[in-house]
Amino acid sequence: MKALVHDQAVPHMLRLGDAPAPTPGPSQALIDVAAFSFNFGEVAFRVPDLPTGTIPGWDAAGTVVVPAADGSGPPAGSRVVTFGWGGAWAEQRAVDTAELALVPDTLDLGATAALPVAAVTALQAIRRLGDIAGRRVLVTGASGGVGRFAVQLAHLAGAEVVASVGSPARGAGLAELGASEVILGPAALRGRVFGAIDNVGGQQLADAYLRLETGGTVVAVGKASKQPTLIDFEEARIRVDRARIETFVIGTPLGGELAELVGLAERGTLDLAIGWRGDWTDYLRAADALVSRRVPGKAVLDVRRAD
Ligand SMILES: NC(=O)c1ccc[n+]([C@@H]2O[C@H](COP(=O)([O-])OP(=O)(O)OC[C@H]3O[C@@H](n4cnc5c(N)ncnc54)[C@H](OP(=O)(O)O)[C@@H]3O)[C@@H](O)[C@H]2O)c1
């Protein structure tokens, strides 16, 4: 089959080549991939010393061709959106049945490839903040994949959402997704917030932390800035009271949460926030756009377009 394979020697360490079709384990279904998405982490932070020929990729949507041998999961022909720690960027993937959700006919199947890592991360991170109804919540990197879902999900949970972006242009569309305010970096925040979802790291994490209400939390999701964070805790002792920073790693299996998100999308409550969509042979263009902050939301690459 055709696949995007890891190759240290080429741009983005990715080459469209040939690879053996996956062999599913007993609790895995075999999927014909319709589309997959790129996440910043797997494009910008993929370790160079993976074996050449490894197929990366976390998120893919497609159709079940062979159901799991252990009887779990949906039958052949089912439309599904899937997650796994590799193998998504190919014509076929094998996936654990605990890591997929059914996609109703009313949704564009390929578009749901935007959901797994970015939207589940946003959902889990927002839930870490507890009850945010009526509270003020900051989202940094709000222009990106996790950010656009976090803005929407915090708004749906009843929060007053402050979206932080790198430039006015990057803030386009965020008010429509539920942001009450769009600011250029957390240093520009007026007043304090109950919680923050930080996708950028570096100085922005420190700035968000220093603007928490008493007992507030920053969930430190990402480091898109690639910068480490320096916090002067002596200064922090004066400026914030019992505030905390929580590290975050996406929790799996995530099939249940993925199904919730598909449900929201089906009801028209959640926008899939696709900012780049094209054929997967354009993978270099998509990867360039993503790492250079030109994708407003998710990048989705079609392997097979629906007829
Ligand atoms: N912990 C976990 O389990 C987990 C799960 C998912 C994602 N993540 C991490 O969370 C972060 C966000 O992921 P994502 O998929 O939402 O990424 P994304 O779509 O690329 O969005 C990242 C946002 O960060 C901002 N940014 C600031 N400085 C940047 C820089 N130097 N380079 C690139 N972007 C920069 C950009 O907004 P502006 O252009 O508006 O500044 C961009 O929209 C990444 O670091 C990712 O690795 C972690």
Per-residue pLDDT tens over the stretch 26-44 = 999 999 999 999 999 999 9
Q: What is the CATH number of the domain that holds 182?
A: 3.40.50.720
- Pair 103, 130 in one domain: no
Q: What is the CATH number of the domain that holds 68?
A: 3.90.180.10
The closest-lying atom of ligand 1 relative to the alpha carbon of residue 298 is 19
- Pair 125, 101 in one domain: no
Pocket-testing residue among 184, 199, 229, 294, ligand 1, by greatest number of atoms within 8 A of Cβ: 199
Can you tell me the distance from the alpha carbon of 74 to that of 66, in angstroms, rounded to the nearest whole number?
10
- Pair 178, 225 in one domain: yes
Residue 89 Cα to ligand 1 midpoint, Å, equals: 20
Q: Whose CA is nearest to atom 7 of ligand 1?
A: 222
Mapping DSSP onto H, E and C, the string for the chain reads: CEEEEECCCCHHHEEEEECCCCCCCCCEEEEEEEEEEECHHHHHCCCCCCCCCCCCCCEEEEEEEECCCCCCCCCCCCEEEEECCCCCCECEEEEEHHHEEECCCCCCCHHHHHCHHHHHHHHHHHHHCCCCCCCEEEEECCCEHHHHHHHHHHHHCCCEEEEECCCCHHHCCHHHHCEEEEECCHHHCCCCEEEEEECCCCHHHHHHHCCEEEEEEEEECCCCCCCCCCCCHHHHHHHCCCCEEEECCCCCCCHHHHHHHHHHHHCCCCCCCEEEEEEHHHHHHHHHHHHCCCCCEEEEEECCCCC
Cβ burial 205-232 (10 Å sphere, 16+ → b, else e): bbbbbbbbbeebbbbbbbbbbeeebeee
Can you tell me the distance from the alpha carbon of 119 to that of 264, in angstroms, rounded to the nearest whole number?
11
Kindly give the parts of the chain with pLDDT less than 50. Answer: none
Residue 141 Cα to ligand 1 midpoint, Å, equals: 6
Per-residue pLDDT at 296: 98
Q: Tell me, using a 6 A CB cutoff, whether residue 222 lines ligand 1.
A: yes
- Pair 124, 224 in one domain: yes
Per-residue pLDDT tens over the stretch 203-217 = 999 999 999 999 999
Distance of CA 138 to the CA centre of its chain: 17
Domain count, the chain: 2
Q: Tell me, using a 6 A CB cutoff, whether residue 199 lines ligand 1.
A: yes
Can you tell me the distance from the alpha carbon of 21 to that of 5, in angstroms, rounded to the nearest whole number?
13
Q: Whose CA is nearest to atom 43 of ligand 1?
A: 144
Per the structure, the complete domain to which residue 174 belongs is given by: 118-247
Pocket-testing residue among 40, 58, 121, 252, ligand 1, by greatest number of atoms within 8 A of Cβ: 40
Per-residue pLDDT at 187: 98
Q: Is residue 90 part of a domain?
A: yes
Residues in the chain: 307
Per-residue pLDDT at 31: 98
Pocket-testing residue among 59, 146, 229, ligand 1, by greatest number of atoms within 8 A of Cβ: 146
- Assigned token pair, 278: 């094209």
Q: Tell me, using a 6 A CB cutoff, whether residue 293 lines ligand 1.
A: yes
Residue 224 Cα to ligand 1 midpoint, Å, equals: 4
Q: Is residue 264 part of a domain?
A: no
Can you tell me the distance from the alpha carbon of 250 to that of 247, in angstroms, rounded to the nearest whole number?
10
Q: Tell me, using a 6 A CB cutoff, whether residue 145 lines ligand 1.
A: yes
Per-residue pLDDT at 306: 62
- Pair 171, 237 in one domain: yes
- Pair 126, 226 in one domain: yes
Q: Is residue 281 part of a domain?
A: yes
Distance of CA 249 to the CA centre of its chain: 12
Q: List the one residue out of 252, 255, 250 whose CA is nearest residue 72.
A: 255
Cα distances (Å, whole numbers) of residue 307 to 109, 170, 272, 279: 12, 33, 21, 14
Q: Tell me, using a 6 A CB cutoff, whether residue 112 lines ligand 1.
A: no
- Pair 160, 199 in one domain: yes
- Pair 25, 82 in one domain: yes
The closest-lying atom of ligand 1 relative to the alpha carbon of residue 166 is 41
